[in-house]
Amino acid sequence: MHKEIIDSLIDHVASIDLNGKITFTNQAWKNFSIVNEGDLVQTDIGVNYLEVLKNSNSLKEYNGILDILNGKKAFFDINYACPSPTENRWFSMIVSPLVQQGVIKGATIVHRDISNYEKKRLDAQDILQSMTDAFFSLDETWKIIYINKKAEKLLLSSKETFLGKNLWKEFPDTLQTKFEEHYMRTMIQREETSFEEYYEPLQTWFEINAFPQENGGISVYFVNINEKKAKEKKLWETAYHDYLTGIPNRLLLYKNLKMKLEVGSPFVLYFIDINNFKLVNDAYGHEIGDSFLFEVAKRLKNELPEQFFLARFGGDEFVLCNAYVNDQQVQNDTNHILSILEKPFNTKDLPFINTSVSIGLSIFPKDGSSVDSIITAADTAMYEAKKSRGNSWKMYENSMSDSLNRRILIEKSMKEAILTDRFYTVFQPQVNILEKEIIGIEVLSRWNHVELGPISPEEFISIAEESDQIRMLTEHIIDTALSSYNNWKKIHGFSGRISFNVSSTSLNEPSFVSFLLYQLEKHSIPRDILEIEITENLQVFSSSIIHDHLQDIEEAGIRIAIDDFGVGYSNISYISNLPISKIKLDKFFADGIGVNLKSEAILQAMIILANNLKLDVIAEGVETQEQIDFLETNNCFQVQGYFYDKPLNEDQFIQRLQQLGIKYPKNMKDRALLESK
């Protein structure tokens, strides 16, 4: 009766003794062997089942049954794949002990067909993975038990080729690679692993994620990342090249210099800075500025010999490197570089731009033994070259380090000095020579540094411009001086004009006009009292942005003067089109009076030009009576210079107003009266 019941079960049931020999099988067990063209002699009663498992390398099942027979476990189960020639099948093995009178006599083994359940589970998984990654599944013996269509496509083969096959035999090139390393860790240590690896036979980069399965195998998800790797390669290449000019950038420069240091052969480093590049950006905008930098790099790359290594260090700074032969070769190469860059830039993408460069040179190993020290030496020499103005170059000398340290100190302490009033103003009178009276004052800035003492405006103004602190300084000077002017107006009745030097950086800012109007209202000063002085240069006169802002300033009632006229970019068409009220003739022309007839002729012509354009004209740097007489004869009646007064601090100017008012003695030869001020 019991046998009939067991024979009626669809599960495959057998019993074994303590040695593993099969002592009983039901009909379903027998039928499975027959249907699958098996041999009952090898699977039925009398056969040692443990030996069958051991010979087929089914060690997990073998060890699980031994644990039952030895009393180490009360229950053992495992799911496994059992593919047939026509389909994928999965079974579950369930083992429990046979106990008689409290003693284990053997075990009952049940094999249950779970193919439908497993297929549904894997079908759902297949649907998911068909929309994302390729996927295959391995059992604990490294047999491939499932593979989805995306995996077939990536691996260039069908699932029939892989199912039931050993992974390592199918893909021998994965041995001793990251594939083996990470799959082993997932299989043995039951850890999730993720990695990227190149598989040479398929010429493909894969990104792989491996996960341990409950049944002891692993699931592998993977994607082709060839495109990603190509992008990474491109990113790596661009990381070492300047995005704007296409030439090597600072990273590649450092890499190249480190290699040169390792070789040990002497080389020359040229540190190139474009003078007043900020004016190009202010005048034309950053797009034109970028195009200009591109043309600079293009010229250097195309016109220098190939042995020069060229890199963009940053901003408007470029670095060249070449083997050192001797000092004459260095001089010749430097002059060649200057000749390349001194030619005006004027392409279809650029307006006419004429600029200059400063070049600092250092030599390895004389000037340094590291990349940073060699670059710092050349950079230091470049700042020394800048002091010469125009196209210039300097070879590094040890004494230059003091100059660089001074510059760094000035730059770093400037903001604090502005906020703590270490900057102060002086005032130089502008005089009507016919009336012998003050008609206005020019405000000039001075700095008494806490460590360095007095610093000349020529030094600190250029540093302020290069470090983007010029606007902060300008606004501080305007606010301070207008406050003083308001006091003079109230106490001494002073009503002359007050003028300030303004850089193109400030003029390029839309808010600067609002700042001026706010200051005038704050200090209760009429708009026509204020005058701003701009230095003539191509960039300022060519900028439509600055043109518009100057127009706004003029329409607000504020006067505009061109400073140092005649020695910069003098272009009549620009002058006639700008809203200018006054031109200030450079001191160069006053110095030429009585000395240089050509200089006098040019001065006369400029005075006539200004008068014909209905512009006020004032001569700067006037120091002698002879100059006064010449200017008066030629209808220039406004002057500024030491002949009447040097720049006065506030106390000196107030004392002058108290003692003399705005008048000067008719006979300026009698200096005693002025000395008593």
List pLDDT tens digits, range 334-368. Answer: 999 999 998 888 777 777 787 889 999 999 999 99
pLDDT over threshold 90, residue 633: yes
User: pLDDT tens for residues 659-668?
Assistant: 888 998 877 6
All structural domains of the chain, each given as residue ranges with its CATH number in brackets, are: 2-113 (3.30.450.20), 116-229 (3.30.450.20), 240-398 (3.30.70.270)
pLDDT over threshold 50, residue 180: yes
Instruction: Report CA-CA distances (Å) from 293 to 274, 283, 317.
Output: 9, 15, 9
User: pLDDT tens for residues 285-305?
Assistant: 888 889 999 999 999 999 999
What amino acid occupies position 241?
Answer: H
* Structural tokens at position 592: 């030429």
Following DSSP, what letter does each residue of 513-564 receive, concatenated? HHHHHHHHHHTT--GGGEEEEEE--HHHHH-HHHHHHHHHHHHTT-EEEEEE
Rounded to 5, what percent of the chain is helix, strand, coil?
A: 45, 25, 30
User: pLDDT tens for residues 78-111?
Assistant: 988 877 767 778 888 999 999 988 899 999 999 8
Backbone angles phi, psi at 492, to 5 degrees: -115, 0
Quick one: 361 exposed, middle or buried, by C-beta within 10 A (0-12, 13-18, 19+)? Answer: buried
Q: Which residues contact 329 (CB under 8 A, 6 or more apart)?
A: none
pLDDT over threshold 80, residue 40: no
The pLDDT > 70 percentage for the chain reads: 93
Q: What rounded mean pLDDT belongs to the chain? A: 88
pLDDT over threshold 70, residue 224: yes
Residue 340 in 3-state DSSP?
A: helix
The mean per-residue pLDDT over the stretch 456-474 comes to: 90
Neighbours of 489 (CB within 10 A): 17
- H or E segment to which residue 482 belongs: helix 470-492
pLDDT over threshold 90, residue 554: yes
Total-model pTM: 0.58
pLDDT over threshold 70, residue 669: no
Residue 677: the pLDDT is 45
Instruction: Report CA-CA distances (Å) from 514 to 123, 283, 480, 481, 549.
Output: 72, 20, 17, 18, 10
Residue 646 in 3-state DSSP?
A: coil
Residue in this structure with the two tokens 């000095």, named with its chain if needed = 417
User: pLDDT tens for residues 382-435?
Assistant: 989 988 878 999 999 988 888 888 888 999 999 999 999 899 999 999 999 999
Neighbours of 430 (CB within 10 A): 25
pLDDT over threshold 50, residue 131: no
Residue 328: the pLDDT is 94
- pLDDT category, 199, cuts 50, 70, 90? very high
